[in-house]
Structure 1
Amino acid sequence: MPSQGENVSGASERPAPLSVFQRFESKFPRGLVIRLIAYLFVGHLFAFFVYLLFVLGGQNQ
């Protein structure tokens, strides 16, 4: 009977390689990633709105 630390097949167990997203997730909490993406999206949407106001306002002159 194998002891607690030994593997029956004799092969050493290695953890599966992490994907890029899993490595990214291990560095930053999930909530932070979601907020960052949301703030970037909302910030660009607001910047586009302000740009649109200037473009449309410039055409009226």
Structure 2
Amino acid sequence: MSERADDPERGGGSESWKERGVALRVFVYVFATHLFAGFIWILFYVGEHAKK
């Protein structure tokens, strides 16, 4: 039982590991938000140019 959850070699206690996780999450959220906004923009564009 010598293994600890905050062992630096396993990444459990290192702050840089947590910072990388947060940075990745922020990147994914920003990318997904822009993708969704682009999809909405395309819907408005197609709807505006639809033959009525």
Which TM bucket (shorter chain)? 0.5 to 0.7
Identity %: 14
Is 1:49 the counterpart of 2:48 in the alignment?
no
Could you tell me the TM-score, scaled by structure 1's length?
0.54
Count, aligned residues: 37
- TM-score, structure 2 length as denominator? 0.63
Which protein has the larger Cα radius of gyration, Structure 1 or Structure 2? 1
Could you say which structure has the higher helix fraction? 2
Q: Which residue in the other structure is 1:59 paired with?
A: 44
Work out the CA distance in 1 between the residues paired with 2:45 and 2:19.
39
Q: Where in structure 1 are there 5+ consecutive unaligned residues?
A: 1-25
Unaligned runs of 5+ in 2: 1-5, 7-11, 47-52
